[in-house]
């Protein structure tokens, strides 16, 4: 029986790459996009006959409820990939800009994760969120991108709370994953690695942590990152 994964935020970049990688590995994939126009590249991927595309915006409670209701069967893996850089300065940003950054990077992804826990396999399920090394307080050596850093640190904290409650009760492992510095629209072309290297490593870590019964903050190679 093939395994099933839900990848949230899959229209481009790392999300699209994760869909392609898991189709290649034989998974049944459910992928989300925000609008119908974002489906084109997904539906052109090899193995797309095992792909289901649904629409969802993680900042919408209505969309979260609809997505959870539409998930077909039990999921082995959930990967929530949603994020924006947000404003550069916490001082100069408007309240609306700060709200958008936190709703997109923190509250939306975590509320969606809570909504999907009941759709996952007990004991072997893996729920992963796209985090960033920039969310590490212990490793921070620069004050730039303060808003983005704080959203990822907050996401990590809420992911720990999720694991200590609903996830741990069901034996679902929670991962906060740093994808590396990747050549994407967000990472830029001067980044260290390409999308294929990142998503292959991430897929390996999703598989390696089945049954770990833990919450880990790791990079795409499985290296632990300081909180």
Query: In this predicted model, what pLDDT tens digit does every residue of 127-139 receive, in sequence order?
Result: 999 999 999 999 9
pLDDT at 150 over 90: yes
pLDDT of residue 4: 97
Rounded Cα gap, residues 227 and 225, in angstroms: 6
Tell whether the model's pLDDT for residue 189 goes beyond 80.
Answer: no
Does residue 185 carry a pLDDT above 70? no
More confident residue, 145 or 101: 101
pLDDT tens digit string along 6-24? 999 999 989 999 999 999 9
Strand extents, DSSP E, the chain: 4-8, 28-33, 51-55, 77-80, 126-130, 173-178, 215-219
Which pair of tokens denotes residue 79? 């990967």
User: pLDDT band at residue 187, thresholds of 50, 70 and 90?
Assistant: low
Confidence class for position 186, pLDDT limits 50, 70, 90: low
Q: What is the pTM of this model?
A: 0.94
Distance in angstroms between the alpha carbons of the first and the last residue of the chain: 37
Which tens digit of pLDDT belongs to each residue from 199-222? 999 999 999 999 999 999 999 999
- What mean pLDDT comes out for the span 97-125? 96
Domains identified in the chain and CATH numbers: 4-219 (3.40.50.720)
Indicate the average pLDDT of the chain.
93
Asked if residue 209 lies in contact with residue 168, where contact means CB atoms within 8 angstroms, the answer is no
pLDDT band at residue 142 under the 50/70/90 scheme: confident
For the segment 112-117, the average pLDDT, to the nearest whole number, is 96
The DSSP secondary structure of 179-203, one letter per residue, reads: --SBSSTTT-TTSSB-HHHHHHHHH
Report the share of the chain in percent with pLDDT over 70: 97
Supply φ then ψ for residue 99, to 5 degrees: -60, -45
Residue % of the chain over a pLDDT of 90: 82
Given this model, what pLDDT does residue 182 score?
A: 80
């Amino acid at each position: 029986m093939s395994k099933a994964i839900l990848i949230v935020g899959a229209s481009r970049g790392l999300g699209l790459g994760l869909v392609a990688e898991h189709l290649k590995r034989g998974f049944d994939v459910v992928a989300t996009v925000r609008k119908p126009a974002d489906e084109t590249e997904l539906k052109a991927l090899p193995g797309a006959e095992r792909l289901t595309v649904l629409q969802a915006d993680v900042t919408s409670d209505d969309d979260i409820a609809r997505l959870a209701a539409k998930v077909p069967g039990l999921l082995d893996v959930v990967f929530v990939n949603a994020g924006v850089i947000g404003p550069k300065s916490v001082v100069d940003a408007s309240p609306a800009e700060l709200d958008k950054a936190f709703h997109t990077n923190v509250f939306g992804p975590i509320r969606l994760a809570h909504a999907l826990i009941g759709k996952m396999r007990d004991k072997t399920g893996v729920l992963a969120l796209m985090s960033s090394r920039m969310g590490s307080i212990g490793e921070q050596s620069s004050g730039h991108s303060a808003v983005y850093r704080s959203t990822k640190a907050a996401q990590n904290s809420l992911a720990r709370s999720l694991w200590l409650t609903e996830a741990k009760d069901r034996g679902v492992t929670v991962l906060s994953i740093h994808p590396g510095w990747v050549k994407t629209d967000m990472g830029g072309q001067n980044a260290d690695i390409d999308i294929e290297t990142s998503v292959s490593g991430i897929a390996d870590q999703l598989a390696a942590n089945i049954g770990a019964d833990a919450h880990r903050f790791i990079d795409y190679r499985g290296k632990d990152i300081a909180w």
